[in-house]
Structure 1
């Protein structure tokens, strides 16, 4: 947090920066969240408190008008990764987390009401995903580029593509998470909210993973079964982080000649997993289970996004014009 905050709360007491840290940690401890989500919420609250300090707003006396002002400020901020202003979905997520934080303080009796409740939140389109998707052919091209690059990168992107895992889930995989169950090669991991999950590895996925682990074991002169620690490690032996995977996807997508390479992310492979599975006739509920979506509406969003493009009337208009041109 930037600067010192001296903020009167109910009863005339003062809340110090450390007390706000304590409030936030207590709030997070009362929610079932993954470590990555907790970190994101911490950053969001810290950013809001910094904004309050810079604008002379007392957080525990904030009104919905202050939250509106903060929301408009967020909308004007530039995302350093993209060079564009922050997406409406990101602003909505930050305000949602802030609302939960305030609601927790309200239940503790620290504030009379949640100021985010009456705030004007950005409208978020629910009919399609903001993630730039990929066609099956583009995924194939990306995996070929990964195979040419290194066994590690091929195994990593194959897991993302074939299982539709979140990048954080893949980065946290440990070798003890790999196993065999009822004739299947499997991987166990913690999903969103810390929920334990299990997925099967298809033959090609398992082969890519085995090839990488065999190479890794040979480099340190041990048997594969004697390897330990994270599944995917850097040259220094530390677990790969999501930022490294983000850069990897874009670098290999550019090498593969994918037109949208500069806009892709690891989540693009998760998006492609959902749309490809539905295109191959996999039932919606099976895709929902595989992706770990608690709400089927989240899975349907990917499906609608696929149909919105595949069934765009512009293709019919173009085809009709082409037929007329050929007939004349």
Structure 2
């Protein structure tokens, strides 16, 4: 931190007996229960715990995966503030800035720092609204990390996607091929494929469709092209009609995030493609569609992005000279110039 030259102007206080918090590794809380335990451990007022429970029940945090994400990210600030002996209900903006600097010093990416700061700010926004905190130290005026213009996620080319699917169809189980085919066809998030129920598959006006859970507890209906529809149908003949999640293991348990990560990495490696994560498949599909010239709003709708700027981060070719509108603009202007030629002769 760049504080040395300002040190003489800072009032001297009692030395902090708490060791600095390690802001990397396992989050202080990963579940709602762990967050409640953390708040009880630091003797948070019951009113703050009640408000925190209400905050996690909000519309933006309706999906279980979303709740877990907010819990993990908000818990870092709570643990950090506690390690510094701060009053969570009356924290100074300076402490929020120091926390942001500490995250940067810990080596976190811009995206990680922005996400953790956003979660803490969201928590405080609710506490202030509920009358449980004096102000939001992460509020207006705070300088936050800027997200990169291009997604840093490792993806695959169109050929590598095809190779991965071809390998899965020939060498893997019907379940594995169906999971990958649906992920590619829908560009869905990993949480959507994991949480999809058996009755998600269906028909709509002649289309084979799948209703996938999305952020905010909503459901989005997406087309399954023949490749994915046939893969899903083949898998269902093996799975059977037992109620529950659509994709289950050979022992009947629902697949989870670790299972999906292992599956994607194992298959891409076996197909001779650099290992990617489940999000890498989503990244690859969105990038491929934008590279093929599909309109931004069409790809945005498929991805379920609320903000088109998020979709733009997947557009590798947006600065390509081949896609520049300058030539078409030049033709229009040239035609206009010719039309007005001789007017002033």
TM-score for the superposition, normalised by structure 2: 0.75
Instruction: Return 5+ residue gaps in structure 2 as ranges.
Output: 1-37, 323-345
Aligned equivalent of 1:48, options 31, 53, 77: 77
1:140 counterpart = 2:169: no
Cα distance in structure 2, aligned partners of 1:188 and 1:144? 25
Aligned equivalent of 1:93, options 88, 94, 115: 115
Contact 1:24 1:42 (C-alpha < 8 Å) held by counterparts: no
Cα distance in structure 1, aligned partners of 2:286 and 2:156? 11
Aligned equivalent of 1:199, options 219, 222, 226: 222
Cα distance in structure 1, aligned partners of 2:217 and 2:40? 34
- Residues paired across the two proteins, number: 283
Deviation of 1:270 after TM superposition, in Å, equals 1.0
- Residue deviations 1:197-238 (CA, integer Å, cap 9, x gap): 101110111111111122233xxxxxxxx3322111123311
Deviation of 1:19 after TM superposition, in Å, equals 4.4
- Residue deviations 1:75-122 (CA, integer Å, cap 9, x gap): 344xxxxxxx43220110110111111111222233332111244422
Q: 1:157 to 1:309 in 2, by over 3 A?
A: farther
Deviation of 1:166 after TM superposition, in Å, equals 0.7
SS at match of 2:202: strand
Aligned to 1:288: 300
Aligned to 1:71: 100
Aligned to 2:51: 23
| Bigger radius of gyration among the two | 2
Contact 1:230 1:239 (C-alpha < 8 Å) held by counterparts: yes
Contact 1:179 1:186 (C-alpha < 8 Å) held by counterparts: yes
TM-score for the superposition, normalised by structure 1: 0.79
Cα distance in structure 2, aligned partners of 1:203 and 1:310? 35
Deviation of 1:24 after TM superposition, in Å, equals 1.4
User: 1:107-118 counterparts in 2 under 5 A?
Assistant: 107-117=129-139, 118=141
